[in-house]
Structure formats: C-alpha cells, structure tokens
Amino acid sequence: MKTSAKFVKEKRRNVNITQKQLAEKSGVGLTVIRKIEQGKGNLSLEKVNQVLRMFGHELAPVNSRDLVD
C-alpha cells in the first residue's frame, strides 16, 4: 500500500508542478504540502483531503469493525 506522502509526491511530479503550485491550486499553505510529502503526522484531515482531491482521492476514518470479516 502506498503512503499518502509517496502518492502526493508522485502525482505532483507526474503533472510537473512544484510544491508551491500545488499548494496554491489546492488552497493550502506550502508548509502543508511539505509536511504531507515528508510523511509528517499531526495534519488536519481536511487539509490533507484538500490536496488529495486535486488527484481525485480522499481519506476517511475507518471503523475497525469494518475491517473484520
């Protein structure tokens, strides 16, 4: 499974934009993009989703009961 950090970095590079451009297009600060790509914790789910939506994806909480057969 690919991490969010790796996913965002790969997608950003595939469309050939800088971190600053991605921040501007997604409506978050440059620091948020850097933290996501570095795999830093303690980020707002809403901010992460703002970035992920640029690539047609989103994160949502998962109930542990949903993971069990």
Q: Which domains does the chain have, with CATH numbers?
A: 4-55 (1.10.260.40)
Q: What is the pLDDT of residue 55?
A: 96
4-14 and 45-53 helices, crossing angle to 10°: 30
Written as six digits, the tokens of 64 are: 């542990």
Q: Which 3 state secondary structure label does DSSP give 69?
A: coil
CA distances, 33 to each of 2, 18, 50 (Å): 17, 10, 10
Tens place of pLDDT per residue across the chain (69 aa): 678 999 999 999 999 999 999 999 999 999 999 999 999 988 999 999 999 999 999 988 877 777 675
Q: Look up the pTM and report it.
A: 0.83
> What pLDDT score was predicted for residue 1?
62
pLDDT at residue 34, rounded to an integer: 97
pLDDT at residue 2 in the model: 79
